[in-house]
Structure 1
């Protein structure tokens, strides 16, 4: 049965059972409830046990499945014991109830083991979430469960026992809520999420059952009977689902994830409850007040951490964007502009004004022997050194690009001193350099061409022609393009 069919079916069965209870005698109510829960939780225990024994599953998940199997098995056994108590073995009722409570405590352990392990600020935020939501849910439990009846003084430890049990149930509900809140948008239901849903239903049902007991209400009142059935059926469905994988934490997921606000629903209800109590009686229980104050303090701390995380993510994204922009516009080896970026920026300069603009094409002399003798790595180092020397000799407004293997294009924005700049570049390039333990020397030939219009391609072609004339003249020289000679 598919998940989208199984969940509505479980809800219909649970609702049907709840409606059926008033029509049955007391023993029939317990027999029906205990039988369905024992079968459903036993089914879940069987499948979780099989998954725990799968050697291909990672160890942490096998332990989680084992805890899930243990919880379901204990719950199944507990309901079998409760079923026996309905046929005259009265003392077993307390044992069955205790086993059911123990089973409820194993489910949060399975959820913790199955959840991704957050680190750094993510781990701190998770702990604050659990603590803050625990405070809100405990405040609600205090208002509607612990303060709703005369108490259990004299029974199994009295008041302290009752508070401890309710606290454990609240913790289980909180862990379930936080697990559900981690669901990724658009992600189909996973074993962890459905188990969390079952744990939440089970914890809320047990709290409601405690309230019914304190107020001498029917055991199945307030939907308790159907709640037990629904939790067992959801748990059975969860045992057949695949587990979800941890996703990458994204800024939007911290705020806009589909279930991200789910844990804070109890906070809203706790505030509404306190407001209603204040409006009705003019007084607030001190426990409720201090619990809410602590909860809100944690929520504020959590929001500050979220802002810090978002700020750090923004910085990282900006750094990555800058790095990508640099990679897209610069030569990976030398760090100079690549041909595409050079053409774009040079075209912008020429479009604004071509007056006083000169193009240079520089081709290295003596580079091939270094490359052939010392290897390509040494040749790459030579190109890096040459690129640094070129960049150091040029003005901020000039452009320099590696446009070929050992060929560079330069755009000067002041043509008057172009021959002087070209001579300085050749002298600087010709200085000896230390490469891979060897001292090597390279030279260069430069062709110059003055901009006549906004045509960059024509300008570079003329400079290239002049560069070949410089090489033909004996290398290590500078030649200016002469239209008349061409």
Structure 2
């Protein structure tokens, strides 16, 4: 049966019986109520028992189902006893009432066990939520149930009623906080429906207490239908899937429909106090102090929420910065990755770029290190080389690992001339030429000297070298062509004996 259909049917049955009670004798009213509640709660106990024994559920959830089994089982038994008493088979009404009261105590325990387990500030916020909502609901209970009531000749009667009402309010508060944890768009879960049933029962019992104190009929003000509705909703909850417990969700800090539910009694309590003040010009001291305590807790709760949101913002900013860095940098060396290098270099070339030179560096002697000492040692060599390159270059220069042991560098603000190559091949040696890309050549030579220094990796001292090809950027040229020319020059440097610098010039130059 679909959830909405089951809930609608439960509501219809409860409303129908509420409308039927005035036409039945008292024993008939009680017999119908006890029978329906005993059957519904017994049905719930049966299915909760099966789920408590299911090894597929985690231990914490099995304990929650166990508490649900006990609560519904005792409740069913209590109503059977009440039914027997109603039919005249003995004066057992007190026993039945005691069993029903005991059953009500196990439902909040089941809700606590089935709820997510908060930690740190989340746990503090939850406790404050419970305390604040408890204060608001107790203020309402005091105003509508306990205020001005007396039990002549009954010693300790007032304290007993306050205790019972306090327990009922606590159960209702836990139910409200559980319902507030509902995820947006999530269908009803066993925990949420059990919480709804507990809330209905708590409100019904509070109304029943008021009826009893004021001498009203026991089913008046919807109490008769409330008992039925609570039992039927609990029966429906026993067949629903559970939401996963044990994890606090980040969305608990943001506003959503269900999250506002615990604040309803707070608003209602304030409205009640304002109405009483406007009507009588005075407020009950218990109501005043309870509301003051409630609002103090609400303010503390909001302060903690702001602190949590501030910390969450810092964490999100740190994660954003980390993700942005990871998206644009090589995971091993920390240098720019190829897409980021291409993007930034293209931006430089798209604008005025006098004195822009590209370098392509390929390590010499890297493969023997990788083969002799393993890939981990090879990775460490790449990391050391990357650090040395970064240390020798300026902040505005770009450097990227574009291959296994190949690096691309883009220098800006270097000198250039229109000198031709001596052999007409388009490639010229970097040795002994004055004025042509002098800065770039000096940087390249300095880089080769720096990376060729011995390094200690994995307990071994190793040495690698490199070959560098240079290419000056043409006005209007693109990055692909520039790197291609630098790459051609790099292969010429390797062919010339490695550890050298070659620059590229067009044959026409």
Q: Per the alignment, do residues 438 and 485 of structure 1 end up closer, same or farther by CA in structure 2, a change over 3 Å counting?
A: farther
Name the residue aligned to 1:356.
355
| C-alpha distance after superposition, 1:295-344 (max 9, x if no partner) | 11111111111112222222222222211111111111111111111110
Q: Secondary structure at the match of 1:335?
A: coil
Q: Is 2:448 aligned against 1:426? A: yes
1:189 and 1:140 map into 2 onto residues whose CA distance is 28
Tell me which residue corresponds to 1:16. Answer: 16
Alignment partners' CA distance in 2, 1:421 and 1:483: 22
Q: Partners in 2 of 1:108 and 1:408 — Cα distance?
A: 64
Instruction: Give the stretch that moved more between structures: 228-237 or 453-462.
Output: 453-462
Residue in structure 1 matched with residue 46 of structure 2 by the alignment? 46
Contact 1:361–1:408 (8 Å) recurs in 2: yes
Q: 1 CA distance for matches of 2:385 and 2:343? A: 23
Describe the SS at the equivalent of 1:256: coil
CA distance in 2, matches of 1:433, 1:425: 15
Cross-structure match for 2:434: none
* C-alpha distance in structure 1 between counterparts of 2:461 and 2:299, whole Å: 63
Shift of 1:155: 3.9
Gaps of 5+ in 2: 416-438
TM-score (norm 2): 0.93
Matches within 5 A, 1:41-120: 41-88=41-88, 91-120=91-120
SS in 2 for 1:326: helix
**CA offset at residue 69 of structure 1?**
1.1
* Residues 133 and 266 in structure 1, CA contact (< 8 A), matched pair in contact too: yes
Question: Hey, what does 1:447 align to over in structure 2?
Answer: 469
Q: Is the 8 A contact 2:467 2:490 kept in 1?
A: yes
Distance change (3 Å), C-alpha of 1:17 and 1:264: same
TM-score computed with the length of structure 1 as normaliser? 0.97
1:407 maps to 406
Cα RMSD (Å): 1.5
Query: How far apart, in 1, do the equivalents of 2:214 and 2:459 lie?
Result: 90
Q: Number of residues paired by the alignment?
A: 485
Deviates more, 1:76-85 or 1:176-185: 76-85
Deviation, structure 1 residue 485: 7.6
Deviations 1:334-390 (A, max 9, x none): 111111111100000111122111111111111111111111111111111000000
2:254 aligned with 1:231, yes or no?
no
Evaluate the alpha carbon distance shift between residue 31 and residue 148 of structure 1 in structure 2; reply closer, same or farther with a 3 A threshold. Answer: farther
- Which secondary structure state, in structure 1, belongs to the residue aligned with residue 363 of structure 2? strand
Contact 1:449 1:466 in 2 (8 A): yes
Q: Which moved more, 1:156-165 or 1:268-277?
A: 156-165
Gaps of 5+ in 1: none
SS in 2 for 1:186: coil
1:172 and 2:159 matched? no
Q: Is the 8 A contact 1:191 1:238 kept in 2?
A: yes
**Which of the numbers 474, 481, 488 marks the counterpart of 1:458?**
481
Contact conserved, 2:397 with 2:412, CA < 8 A, in 1?
A: yes
Cα distance in 2 for residues equivalent to 1:195 and 1:463: 72
Q: Partner of 2:45: helix, strand, or coil?
A: helix
- SS of the equivalent of 1:355 reads coil
Q: Deviations over 1:222-266 (max 9, x none)?
A: 000000000011111111111111486555442323300001100
Corresponding residue of 1:144: 144
Give secondary structure in 2 for the equivalent of 1:444. strand
| Alpha-carbon separation, structure 2, partners of 1:170 and 1:381 | 64
Offset from partner CA, 1:166-192 (integer Å, 9 cap, x none):
000000000000011111111111111
What is the CA–CA distance in structure 1 between the aligned matches of 2:34 and 2:343, rounded to whole Å?
77
Counterpart Cα distance in 1 of 2:251 and 2:45: 37
Aligned partners of 1:198 and 1:231 also within 8 Å: yes
1:361 aligned counterpart, secondary structure: strand
2:501 paired residue number: 478
Cα distance in structure 2, aligned partners of 1:252 and 1:30: 45
What are the Cα deviations for residues 73-123 of structure 1, in whole angstroms up to 9, with x where unaligned?
111111111112223356322222222122111111111111121111111
Q: Output the CA distance in 1 between the equivalents of 2:260 and 2:495.
A: 75
Q: How does 1:203-218 map to 2 (within 5 A)?
A: 203-218=202-217
Alignment partners' CA distance in 1, 2:119 and 2:205: 33
SS at structure 2 position matched to 1:152: coil
Question: What is the SS of the residue equivalent to 1:260?
Answer: helix
Q: Which residue of 1 aligns with 2:313?
A: 314
1:339 and 1:418 map into 2 onto residues whose CA distance is: 21
Q: Do the aligned partners of residues 23 and 188 (structure 1) sit closer, same or farther apart at CA in structure 2, a change above 3 Å counting?
A: same
1:395 is the counterpart of 2:394:
yes
